Structure 1
Amino acid sequence: MPPTMFNSISISISDEDSDDTTGKMKSRGRRKLRKLGFRGKGDTLRWIFRKMKKWWTVLLFLPAIALLLFEASRLARKPDKDPKLDFVSDNEVAGGNLNSLGFKTRIVNGVKEPCLKILPSKEIKYLEFPMDTEPDFPVKRVLYKSDNNAPYRGGDSALLRQYANATRFNLFTGDQTLHEREKSFKVNETAVVHCGFYSENGGFRISDEDKNYMQTCKAVVSTCAFGGGDDLYQPIGMVEATLRKVCYVAFWDEITRSTQEAEGNRIGEDQMIGKWRIVVVRDLPFSDQRLNGKIPKMLSHRLFPQARYSIWVDSKSQFRRDPLGVLEALLWRTDSVLSISEHGARSSVYDEAKAVVKKHKATPEEVEAQMNQYRHDGFPDDKRFNGKKALSEASVIVREHMPLTNLFMCLWFNEVVRFTSRDQLSFPYVLRRLRVMKINMFPVCTRKDLVNSMGHKRKVKPLTS
């Protein structure tokens, strides 16, 4: 047999065999695709239907489960009071910011930090006031001008009539001339300055019982509501020990008393409502209720002559931090004698003046008189002072009572009497003129941590003549 017959094998493949093999390969491929999850439109719908049929009970309750999870996460984010903290607070009230104790935070260089770095309550309750020391400031003593039985010229001199608010000078303020105003900014060891309470006949009368109580205060948190515009919000967040060291005093007039009594808020026989001692003031010295409100705001050193420290809180706010903790954080730790929040919207006093007129918070004439005087005095249109904003918000003021800060507040008060009641306009001017203050301008978020802002409740009623 020829060799070729053993070495060659002929294999014949028909067209039918080829198609069948290819079909089997395609069928295996489709099964593999189905196994991997690749389906046509009909297969997808049937698969979805089968899954829904199997899990319909879960799908039925899915919205309720989602709602429960959302509520649980929201409650987890809500800053509840730590039961280990010795807080003295009222019951939580639903709605608004009232009685909220949550801590505010901010982002600094990409890191979240608290707006107010206050000590924990277990350390706050052991805080004591620092020992008295002789302050290293050029002003050692402040003397307040009074009538001394001298004839009073009133506010109708030709010099004062050049200014829109000349008639605001009265027996309470004394008649400060422009020459006296300029002289009052000269820093001397003994300062002599107008500072309210010029005459016993000037008004702002307080009962002897209230005066005696105010004489006992070494530190005070104060507020006022004249004209019935705001409610009284109980302070929260202080530790029990602080209540024995700090007074809480709210100044009312008769209008506010009657407004609050109509809503069931009556002053007790001990002159208290909650934690506040209510001091009812009679014979308010100004027709402008905003200006009357500047007296307890700026002249707390005159109202509380024995106090070393004070914290002012606007009546539209609820104070929600421990006072001693605030003093430690904003004064003692920063080596400051006055602490006040920066303005949230603007930095320039001249920009603020335009905003005041635009919002109808003062007349164009009185604002123009103030700005013209500041330009005449060489006050620059600077947006920064010592590296911080030149404008303050001033709804919370924390300060040590000492000759320098007392002088500062007297000068500031005299500016709002002479010009407008918008104290943001005069604060940077007085600060720059005095130039010797150790001041802490804290950011807006710190102020938001200090208070719950509630807003004004009703229109202030003017004084009746």
Structure 2
Amino acid sequence: MSNNGVTISVSDDDLEDPPNRIRLRNRRKRRKSGPRGKSDFTRKVLTKLLRWWPALLLVAAFALLAYEYFNIGGGESRIPSPVKKSATIGSQQSKAKPHGNLNKLDPITRVVRGVREPCLKLLPLEELERLEIPNDEETSSPIKELVYAMEPYRVGEEGKLNLPPYSNSTRFNLFTGNQTLEQREESFKISERLEVPCGFYSEKGGFRISSDDKSYMSTCKVVVSTCAFGGGDDLYQPIGMSDTSSQKVCFVAFWDEITLATQEAEGNKVDDNHFVGKWRIVIVRDLPFSDQRLNGKIPKMLPHRLFPNARYSIWVDSKSQFRRDPLGVLEALLWRSNDELAISEHGARSSVYDEAKAVVKKNKATPEEVDVQITQYQKDGLPTDKRFNGNKALNEASIIVKKHTPVVNLFMCLWFNEVVRFTSRDQLSFPYVLWRLKELKRINMFPVCVRKDLVNSMGHIRKAKPLTN
């Protein structure tokens, strides 16, 4: 059709279906209206926020309160624990120095065959309160009498030790003695009566303790011990105890004069009875080593020398807060399974040779001293096995639970002597002594999650100050 020279073409489809054309126009309009849609969405969100802001504010406040509660000492109420009533021990310390892990009693759990269960299975409260220390039973140990050597080996003129050419003069001294390799070999030979060097506690040897402290320590039948030398770590009060453990268990912390001064400067005063909270503070003078790590091995590995009448002991590293009932721990890790020694498996590695590489890589010991140790172990025939007698070879020794039997005491003496001779990294020497001393069979190498359940780990607070000769 033509009008004033303009031609308009109309198709048959347009004529037959005008609604289609309308729908197309509508679609094009909707596609162009995108920005208006976003604006509508924003307006709706703002409307909802304005309507519900009081409820949202209440939820945020509750979340903040929950966070504060569970991270500053309140988390113990989440479990119906038999030790909840004693969880307030050390609450003053928590207020003074808040820490994310301090005073927590939350159980560590794991999944076993599809079921989540506690890693450490303690008895219920009523049974913990009735626990008795079992009477010593007859053992089939071939060692009937373990005697500790009274004088250091090979003392030369003027009290000087004859040292092997590879040794560090700060390691062998009048406290440790100086075992030759031949004497070291003899100490692994088992007999009914066995004499072994195991630290020489004398005025010459050092590690001097007052007569009052010695008298107190001689009364302990069960002891939980820790130490902090060189002002390194703070003292964390034990929590989670039953009344029975509070009455029957000694808690002893070994300090040197540097730590005493450091703690008193921070307000942690030792009272007239030599206590800070639950801990009896024992001040050690004349420490044998300039290396504070080695000084710490003495109370860690030789509690049978320090507590001559103790039948059981639990060692806890200074970087940790012990948070379980001591008698309950002994029942769960020793008495229930009839074991004599309980110690944690290593969480990262299984081979002593892999651990040696890690020690060097992390600068925990020099390559030279590690090489001396590993070369000797290879010469002695230490296998590369990752398990000995069904147990994982490598351990993590921040917690040691033991019964003071002749074979366990011998193990600790031999372990201490290896640490003195070679490196202070006790993970390297533990598998060797375990492999050599086949008489120690009743050992509980518990999983890492049990170790995590036993303590709240704080980490080291400050670097220990070395002693100067």
The answer to whether TM tops 0.5 is yes
User: Could you tell me whether the CA contact under 8 Å between 1:308 and 1:401 is conserved in 2?
Assistant: yes
Partners of 1:443 and 1:49 in 2: how far apart?
54
Show the counterpart of 2:350.
Answer: 347
Show the counterpart of 2:86.
Answer: 87
1:29-66 deviation line (CA, Å, top 9, x unaligned): xxxxxxxxxxx989989997997798665333453254
User: Could you tell me whether the CA contact under 8 Å between 1:174 and 1:198 is conserved in 2?
Assistant: no
User: Could you tell me whether the CA contact under 8 Å between 1:308 and 1:400 is conserved in 2?
Assistant: yes
C-alpha deviation, 1:133, in angstroms: 1.4
1:176 pairs, out of 169, 176, 179, with 179
Q: Say which SS state the counterpart of residue 410 (structure 1) adopts.
A: helix
Show the counterpart of 2:329.
Answer: 326
Show the counterpart of 2:60.
Answer: 67
1:378-432 deviation line (CA, Å, top 9, x unaligned): 0011222233321111000000011010000000000001001111100010001
1:193 pairs, out of 170, 193, 196, with 196
C-alpha deviation, 1:197, in angstroms: 1.6
User: With structure 1 as the length reference, what TM-score do the two structures score?
Assistant: 0.85
* Structure 1 gap segments, 5+ residues each: 1-18, 24-39
Correspondences of 1:419-434 after superposition (within 5 Å): 419-434=422-437
1:127 pairs, out of 125, 128, 131, with 131
Q: Given the superposition, is the C-alpha separation of residues 135 and 56 from structure 1 closer, same or farther in structure 2, using an over 3 Å criterion? A: closer
Show the counterpart of 1:290.
Answer: 293
Show the counterpart of 1:16.
Answer: none
Q: Say which SS state the counterpart of residue 77 (structure 2) adopts.
A: coil
Q: Given the superposition, is the C-alpha separation of residues 334 and 58 from structure 1 closer, same or farther in structure 2, using an over 3 Å criterion? A: farther
Partners of 2:257 and 2:46 in 1: how far apart?
73
Q: Given the superposition, is the C-alpha separation of residues 44 and 251 from structure 1 closer, same or farther in structure 2, using an over 3 Å criterion? A: same
User: Could you tell me whether the CA contact under 8 Å between 2:230 and 2:259 is conserved in 1?
Assistant: yes
C-alpha deviation, 1:166, in angstroms: 5.9
Q: Given the superposition, is the C-alpha separation of residues 216 and 58 from structure 1 closer, same or farther in structure 2, using an over 3 Å criterion? A: same
1:55-89 deviation line (CA, Å, top 9, x unaligned): 66533345325435655886799441648754253
Q: Say which SS state the counterpart of residue 321 (structure 2) adopts.
A: strand
Show the counterpart of 1:435.
Answer: 438
Q: Given the superposition, is the C-alpha separation of residues 196 and 48 from structure 1 closer, same or farther in structure 2, using an over 3 Å criterion? A: closer
The higher radius of gyration belongs to 1
RMSD: 2.9
Partners of 2:44 and 2:179 in 1: how far apart?
87
Q: Given the superposition, is the C-alpha separation of residues 161 and 54 from structure 1 closer, same or farther in structure 2, using an over 3 Å criterion? A: closer
User: With structure 2 as the length reference, what TM-score do the two structures score?
Assistant: 0.84
**1:107 counterpart = 2:104:** no
Partners of 1:46 and 1:367 in 2: how far apart?
69
Correspondences of 1:256-295 after superposition (within 5 Å): 256-295=259-298
1:104-152 deviation line (CA, Å, top 9, x unaligned): 111223221111111122211110100121222111211111129x972
Partners of 2:154 and 2:421 in 1: how far apart?
21
Q: Given the superposition, is the C-alpha separation of residues 142 and 83 from structure 1 closer, same or farther in structure 2, using an over 3 Å criterion? A: closer
Partners of 2:42 and 2:256 in 1: how far apart?
74
**Mean Cα deviation higher: 113-122 or 247-256:** 113-122
One-letter amino acid matched to 1:230: D
User: Could you tell me whether the CA contact under 8 Å between 1:223 and 1:312 is conserved in 2?
Assistant: yes
Q: Taking every aligned residue pair, what percent have the same amino acid on both sides?
A: 62
User: Could you tell me whether the CA contact under 8 Å between 2:151 and 2:200 is conserved in 1?
Assistant: no
Count matched residues: 430
Correspondences of 1:192-211 after superposition (within 5 Å): 192-197=195-200, 199-211=202-214
**Mean Cα deviation higher: 396-405 or 194-203:** 194-203
Q: Given the superposition, is the C-alpha separation of residues 290 and 50 from structure 1 closer, same or farther in structure 2, using an over 3 Å criterion? A: closer
